[in-house]
């Protein structure tokens, strides 16, 4: 099935794709968006837990060309952010083509066009789209990842990924193990404990724990002060507030929180109440898992605990490398930009990426505007 298309093809209708579409709209540049789900922002609408809030102050999270309403609080809830995105899509008249799963995208040297083949999940037909520019906006959180653990298939109880977890209501008085100590893992552990679950969390590697206010201070200081100085201040403040974490089974990394975010994409944990649960032992910290035998989980320290359910908060993998053909410059095998900041968003032959630089919504907004401005200059 052949279709004539506008000059720009955007893959993904999450916040990154929407930000790109709005920025192109303002320049009157036609585009299409291909989205594999049946709605935009599916991670927020379908795959996030109920108590989720944006972890940063709202000024760092708004998309281009539309600020958050003044009535919104500093930290925006999932429902408020979805409402904002609904308004955003309406305001900029964004109409994605839904249930289009991209199977290949390849630059054709002869016609100097990107040829994208996507399966229409409704009709099961493969549709072909052609455009001068291709924007990869499929997101950092595209494919849920659950690690392979010896004996996991023998576990008799529910095994969920964080994308399947909504709240802890069904887990009251259950022994629940949360695997993964990033922000999702820590917040899901808090939610489970608040609902009466006997909660444990696996913390395999050192983590920085900071308050939201510390991070806000740090982000503002980074505009004027070198990252190593800001990191030293963050660590000092963390030690003052959270004291010695090692007695609870948590250690601090040797490298600073903002350095680690830029270098490895590893975010500090923003404490929203989990620390007090760990301190009161309502949330038990455990080391890495060695194996699973039925409902018994064996840990690296040799101890064995029984659980009724396991929630994996182990992040995501990206599948870009499976369908993006012929790109050896812009994205690595994990779908993260190879070029360093601030030139990470532009590849060769009209290829761009938005929201893949591990800088959150703030980074996606900046990328989208850079891409739209660059396309505008090339179309002149």
Digit-by-digit pLDDT tens for the chain (380 residues) are 445 569 999 999 999 999 999 999 999 999 999 999 999 999 999 999 999 999 899 999 999 999 999 999 999 999 999 999 999 999 999 999 999 999 999 999 999 999 999 999 999 999 999 999 999 999 988 899 999 999 999 999 999 999 999 999 999 999 999 999 999 999 999 999 999 999 999 999 999 999 999 999 999 999 999 999 999 999 999 999 999 999 999 999 999 999 998 888 889 999 999 999 999 999 999 999 999 999 999 999 999 999 999 999 999 999 999 999 989 899 999 899 999 888 999 999 999 999 998 888 999 999 999 999 999 999 98
Burial class (CB in 10 A: 0-12, 13-18, 19+), 93: exposed
Contact in structure between 175 and 307 (CB atoms under 8 Å): yes
Contact in structure between 336 and 319 (CB atoms under 8 Å): no
Q: What is the pLDDT of residue 119?
A: 98
Contact in structure between 20 and 371 (CB atoms under 8 Å): yes
For residue 261 the two structure tokens come to 């975010």
Contact in structure between 370 and 152 (CB atoms under 8 Å): no
Report the distance separating Cα 352 and Cα 144, nearest Å.
Answer: 24
Contact in structure between 114 and 107 (CB atoms under 8 Å): yes
Q: How far is CA 333 from CA 35, 308, 336, in A?
A: 21, 36, 8
DSSP structural state of residue 364: H
363-365-369-372 Cα dihedral, nearest 10 degrees? 100
Please tell us whether the domain made up of 145-312 is placed in CATH 3.50.50.60.
yes
Token match 């409402």: residue? 83
Domain ranges in the chain with CATH number 3.50.50.60:
8-142+318-379, 145-312
Q: What is the pLDDT of residue 1?
A: 44
DSSP structural state of residue 178: E
Nearest alpha-carbon partner for 155 in 317, 307, 365: 307
Superfamily of domain covering 8-142+318-379: FAD/NAD(P)-binding domain (3.50.50.60)
Q: Is the dihedral angle over the CA atoms 243, 241, 251, 305 positive or is it negative? A: positive
Nearest alpha-carbon partner for 134 in 23, 37, 17: 17
């Amino acid at each position: 099935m052949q279709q004539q298309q506008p000059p720009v093809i955007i893959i993904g209708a999450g916040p990154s794709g929407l930000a790109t579409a709005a920025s192109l709209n303002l320049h009157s540049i036609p585009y299409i968006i291909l989205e594999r789900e049946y709605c935009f922002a599916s991670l927020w609408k379908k795959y996030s837990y109920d108590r989720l809030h944006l972890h940063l102050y709202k000024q760092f999270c708004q998309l281009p060309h539309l600020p958050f309403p003044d009535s919104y609080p500093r930290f925006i809830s999932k429902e408020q952010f979805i409402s904002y995105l609904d308004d955003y899509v309406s305001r900029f008249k964004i109409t994605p083509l839904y249930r289009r799963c991209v199977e290949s995208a390849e630059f054709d040297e002869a016609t100097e066009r990107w040829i994208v083949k996507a399966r229409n999940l409704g009709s099961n037909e493969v549709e072909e789209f052609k455009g001068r520019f291709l924007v990869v906006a499929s997101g950092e959180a595209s494919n849920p990842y659950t690690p392979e653990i010896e004996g996991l298939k023998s576990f008799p109880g529910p095994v969920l990924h964080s994308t399947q977890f909504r709240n802890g209501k069904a887990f009251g008085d259950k022994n629940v193990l949360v695997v993964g100590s990033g922000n999702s893992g820590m917040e899901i552990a808090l939610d489970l404990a608040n609902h009466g679950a006997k909660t444990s969390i696996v913390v395999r590697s050192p983590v920085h724990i900071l308050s939201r206010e510390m991070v806000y201070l740090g982000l503002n200081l980074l505009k004027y002060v070198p990252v190593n100085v800001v990191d030293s201040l963050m660590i000092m403040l963390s030690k003052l507030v959270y004291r010695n974490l090692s007695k609870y089974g948590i250690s601090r990394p040797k490298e600073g929180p903002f350095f680690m975010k830029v270098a490895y994409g590893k975010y500090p944990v923003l404490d929203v109440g989990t620390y007090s649960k760990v301190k009161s032992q309502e949330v038990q910290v455990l080391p890495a898992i060695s194996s699973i035998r039925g409902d018994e989980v064996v840990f690296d320290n040799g101890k064995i605990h029984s659980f009724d359910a396991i929630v994996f908060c182990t992040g995501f993998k990206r599948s870009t490398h499976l369908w993006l053909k012929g790109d050896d410059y812009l994205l690595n095998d994990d779908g993260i930009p190879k070029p360093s900041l601030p030139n990470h968003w532009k590849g060769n032959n009209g290829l761009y990426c938005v929201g893949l630089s591990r800088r959150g919504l703030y980074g996606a907004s900046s990328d989208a505007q850079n891409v739209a401005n660059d396309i505008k200059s090339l179309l002149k």
